[in-house]
Amino acid sequence: MSVGTDVIEPRPAVPAVEGGRTRRRWLNWLFVIPAILFQFFWGWYPMVIAIFLSLTNAPIRGAVTFRGIENYVRLASDPLVPMAFRVTLIYGILSIILTFIIPIITAILLMEMPPKTMRVMMILWFLPLSGIASTLFWQYLYNEKFGIFQYIATAVLGLPPQAFLSSERLVLFWLIVPGIIMYGPGLYYIAGLQGIPKSYYEAAEVEGAGFWRKIWTISLPRLRPIISMTLLFSIIGSLQEFTFPDLMTRGGPNGASRTVVMYMFTLLNNGRIGDSTALAVMLFALIMVFVLVFRLVFKSDPDV
Amino acid sequence: MSSVTLENVVKYYYPAVGAADSKPVKGLNNINMRIAEGETVSVVGPSGCGKSTLLKVIAGLEFADEGRVLYNDFDVTKITPQDRGVGMVFQDYALYPTKEGKNNMSYYFEVHHRSAEEKEQRLRETSELMGIGFDMLMGRQVDTLSGGEKQRVGIARAIVREPNVFLMDEPISNLDAKLRERTRTEIRRLLKKFGITTLYVTHDQQEAIFMGDRIAVMRAGSLEQIGTFDELYYAPANLFVATLIGTPPISILPGELAHGTLRAAGQTELALPEQLSGGLPQGSLRLGVRPEGWLVAREPEPGSLAMNVTRIERLFTERAAFAHGDVNGAPVNALVPLDFPDAKMLYLRPDWERAYIFAADAETALHVPGVPELF
């Protein structure tokens, strides 16, 4: 080293005192282990076992024998399987189209209301309703003889009596409609919108931006992470739909509203565990394809 | 560019839903103000005094409930912010986060469907005005800029569209002290260069003095006084303005006036000059003396106030020192030379030429020294 210059030694990575105040590695693991165990027993383990079981005869008792793709071959010849996939795809796509955009628009409009009105509207929108109770309520609304929708269709609009949930052609559409009103990612959007500083809108206003331009250049770009997250969740959720159609229609009429998960449940009840897990693996693959496509489309995030 | 006039502007505020008292509050109480063309007026006052509301009413982001807002002689009271042509700079910058500096600045031209050539030309002109290195900021994502750089872009965005009025809402409060000083010099330079009518809101009196050709002092929705620094300092309209302007603040001592003698701080009898006591009512008063208005002695003299010194603050950069303490419980600050020795007690006499007299129960100024004629 040259004379007369102060050389700053690189600071040693290890603390000078043995056993000094660095967090120990095992301590880190201690905090992480509960989550890992949970994820293992309720996530990865069932997934791996399901893939394994789908290749066996999967008996309830007795020896498990490996059967190769026999289960898949049997499912391929089952006409109910493509039907269930068709129902799931239509239901999923329809529900994303119909229930995804509307909460965003509603949330944006809510934010434009005076605070007092907004609070009342939010209470109405996010009432903590029991899922099953409101499902039964919707069943009543759709009733072909004395439901209010039938009344509106015949007495108010003067249409011939509608089949609603008994219509093979339209049953999926009628199943989506409650979701438009009840499905609630709106709360996320409102939280996101409230996090946008007011000065952004003020800055845009003094520069001459009107309502739509403010939405387009400030609200939506700022909501983008939330939108992409809820979209992902609703893709996964709607492809796995079970409870609501099961309660409303039991899959009818003639399987026109029987989703893949509902058919899986039927197979399971019939003791066909191998077929059921094989179907589950097929649905898993389908969802993965959707998620991958989603990731590709939403990859370019200008914020990052 | 235009002058701005406020005539009897009133703005009501409604308390939050469920508040015990739900009567509307006057956020702005009968404001009258005129900002001349090209003038910079800074608005100063404690938080919640309505200074930001005043700015928003001028910008059109809030509408006046009563009264009128005029640009030149044109009534804009009911005109939306989109059509007022103001440039505004915000404390939190409010730059569009997904855009580059340049696109932030061209937002106005996009909204108004101006030609690309006009946009490019204005961007180039503004970039030159903003000074060295600015064109580099224009190409960067705003998320990657530092606070000071963001605010430069914010200012450029406000001036690129040639505003009628320039409004700044605490533009440099988020910056650190060093940068604040540099940026405020920079803003002052730009304001002088453009000569745009400007309203500059701040809670910092130093900043207000530095920025404004005139200073408006606000409190609780009312405009207390508007004038140059000297006017506010030497001829405050009331006790509030007198205590707000000046660091360290003016010392206020309660007193009783009887037969030309002021018994101040309950102890000492001070003889008032004839021409001062003549115009004052007998009875309770308040005496105000600024730090430089005290004649300081180290030994007791007849007719001087005994001050307990808590601390002598030596400002080496200013070549001066302040003695802080109290006279019979009332806080007092006095200016002393830098080499003044430490002392437990000091003896003060007011320089009556520089004394302020306020009413005891109201804030009215009964006597002020007035702006000195220096030249």
C-alpha distance from residue B199 to each of A42, A193, B1 (Å): 62, 30, 13
Q: Which of B155, B175, B208 is the last residue of a domain?
A: B155
Contact A303 B143 (CB under 8 A): yes
C-alpha distance from residue A131 to each of A136, A137, A173, A249 (Å): 9, 10, 19, 15
Residue linked to tokens 């250049």: A217
- Tell me: do B167 and B42 sit in the same domain: yes
Any domain includes A63:
no
The range of the structural domain enclosing residue A213 comes to 70-297
Asked if residue A253 has a cis previous peptide bond (ω within 30° of 0), the answer is: yes
Q: How many domains does chain B have?
A: 3
* pLDDT at B13 > cutoff 60: yes
Contact B90 A203 (CB under 8 A): yes
Mean pLDDT, residues B207-216 taken together: 92
Mean pLDDT, residues B301-313 taken together: 89
- Identify the residue among B111, B155, B162, B170 best suited for mutation to test binding to A, counting A beta carbons within 10 A and taking the highest: B111
- Tell me: do B203 and B55 sit in the same domain: yes
Q: CB contact, 8 Å: B122 with chain A?
A: no
Mean pLDDT, residues A133-150 taken together: 82
- pTM for the model stands at 0.75
Longest dimension (CA), chain A: 101
Any domain includes A8:
no
From the list B156, B33, B145, the residue with the least C-alpha distance to B89 is B156
**CATH number of the domain residue A92 falls in:** 1.10.3720.10
Report d(CA A250, CA A171) in Å as an integer: 12
* pLDDT at A113 > cutoff 90: no
Task: List the 269-308 stretch of B: residues with Cβ below 8 A of A.
Answer: none
Q: Which of B104, B126, B155 is the last residue of a domain?
A: B155
Any domain includes B240:
no
Any domain includes A31:
no
What percent of chain B is modeled with pLDDT above 70? Answer: 97
- Tell me: do B148 and B270 sit in the same domain: no
pLDDT in tens, B121-146: 888 888 888 777 778 888 888 888 88
| Secondary structure class of A26 (helix, strand, coil) | helix
Any domain includes A145:
yes
Q: Which of B107, B129, B155 is the last residue of a domain?
A: B155
Mean pLDDT, residues B329-346 taken together: 90
* pLDDT at A270 > cutoff 60: yes
* pLDDT at A111 > cutoff 90: no
Report d(CA B246, CA A204) in Å as an integer: 37
| Secondary structure class of A82 (helix, strand, coil) | helix
CB B156 within 8 A of CB B119: no
**CATH number of the domain residue B10 falls in:** 3.40.50.300
CB A57 within 8 A of CB A275: no
Any domain includes A108:
yes
CB B92 within 8 A of CB A199: yes
* pLDDT at B158 > cutoff 60: yes
Compute the C-alpha angle B207/B211/B217, nearest 5°. 70
Mean pLDDT of chain B: 87
Residue linked to tokens 């608005």: B43
Residue at A208: amino acid letter: G
- Tell me: do B124 and B257 sit in the same domain: no
CB B159 within 8 A of CB B87: yes
Chain B CB contacts of A302 below 8 Å: 98
Please tell me the predicted confidence (pLDDT) of residue A183: 62
CA dihedral B246, B248, B249, B253 (to 10 degrees): -140
Any domain includes B236:
no
Any domain includes B140:
yes
pLDDT band at B199 (very low <50, low <70, confident <90, very high): very high
Any domain includes B19:
yes
The number of helices, as runs of H, and strands, as runs of E, in chain A is 15, 0
Residue B263 CB partners (closer than 8 Å, separation 6+): B255, B256, B269, B270
Chain B CB contacts of A120 below 8 Å: none
CB B30 within 8 A of CB B49: no
E-only strand ranges, chain A: none
Q: Which residues lie across from B87 on neighbouring strands? A: B166
The range of the structural domain enclosing residue B219 comes to 4-85+163-227
For residue A162, the 8-state DSSP code is: P
Q: CB contact, 8 Å: A302 with chain B?
A: yes
C-alpha distance from residue A119 to each of A111, B17, B18, B327 (Å): 10, 10, 12, 55
Please tell me the predicted confidence (pLDDT) of residue B110: 83
End-to-end alpha-carbon separation of chain B, Å?
Answer: 34
Between A154 and B335, residue with greater pLDDT: B335
Q: How many domains does chain A have?
A: 1
Please tell me the predicted confidence (pLDDT) of residue A304: 39
Any domain includes B239:
no
pLDDT in tens, A67-80: 878 888 888 888 88
Q: For residue A303, what is the nearest residue in chain B, using CA coordinates? A: B98
pLDDT band at B36 (very low <50, low <70, confident <90, very high): very high
- Identify the residue among A200, A207, A217 best suited for mutation to test binding to B, counting B beta carbons within 10 A and taking the highest: A207
- Identify the residue among B14, B57, B96 best suited for mutation to test binding to A, counting A beta carbons within 10 A and taking the highest: B96
Q: Say how far residue A166 (Cα) sits from the centre of its chain.
A: 27
Report d(CA B334, CA B327) in Å as an integer: 11
- Tell me: do B147 and B170 sit in the same domain: no
Min Cα distance B16 → chain A (Å) is 9
User: Dihedral of CA B102/B103/B104/B108: which sign?
Assistant: positive
- Tell me: do B122 and B22 sit in the same domain: no
Q: Which residues lie across from B261 on neighbouring strands? A: B258, B271
pLDDT band at A2 (very low <50, low <70, confident <90, very high): very low
- Tell me: do B125 and B264 sit in the same domain: no
Q: CB contact, 8 Å: B112 with chain A?
A: yes
- Tell me: do B284 and B251 sit in the same domain: yes
From the list B245, B209, B246, B243, the residue with the least C-alpha distance to B228 is B209
**CATH number of the domain residue B291 falls in:** 2.40.50.140
Q: CB contact, 8 Å: B50 with chain A?
A: no
- Tell me: do B46 and B190 sit in the same domain: yes
| Secondary structure class of B224 (helix, strand, coil) | strand
Least confident of A3-17, A35-49, A219-233, B266-280: A3-17
* pLDDT at A1 > cutoff 70: no
Mean pLDDT of chain A: 81
Q: For residue B160, what is the nearest residue in chain A, using CA coordinates? A: A207
Residue at B362: amino acid letter: A
Q: CB contact, 8 Å: A115 with chain B?
A: yes
Contact B61 A197 (CB under 8 A): no
Any domain includes A65:
no
Please tell me the predicted confidence (pLDDT) of residue A184: 65
ipTM of the complex: 0.77
Please tell me the predicted confidence (pLDDT) of residue A147: 80
Q: CB contact, 8 Å: A205 with chain B?
A: yes
From the list A156, A184, A302, A141, the residue with the least C-alpha distance to B143 is A302
Q: How many CB pairs under 8 A join A and B?
A: 68
Tokens standing for A153?
């269709």
> DSSP letters of B68-90?
EEEETTEE-TT--GGGT-EEEE-
Chain A CB contacts of B91 below 8 Å: 199
C-alpha distance from residue B158 to each of B58, B167, B358 (Å): 15, 9, 43
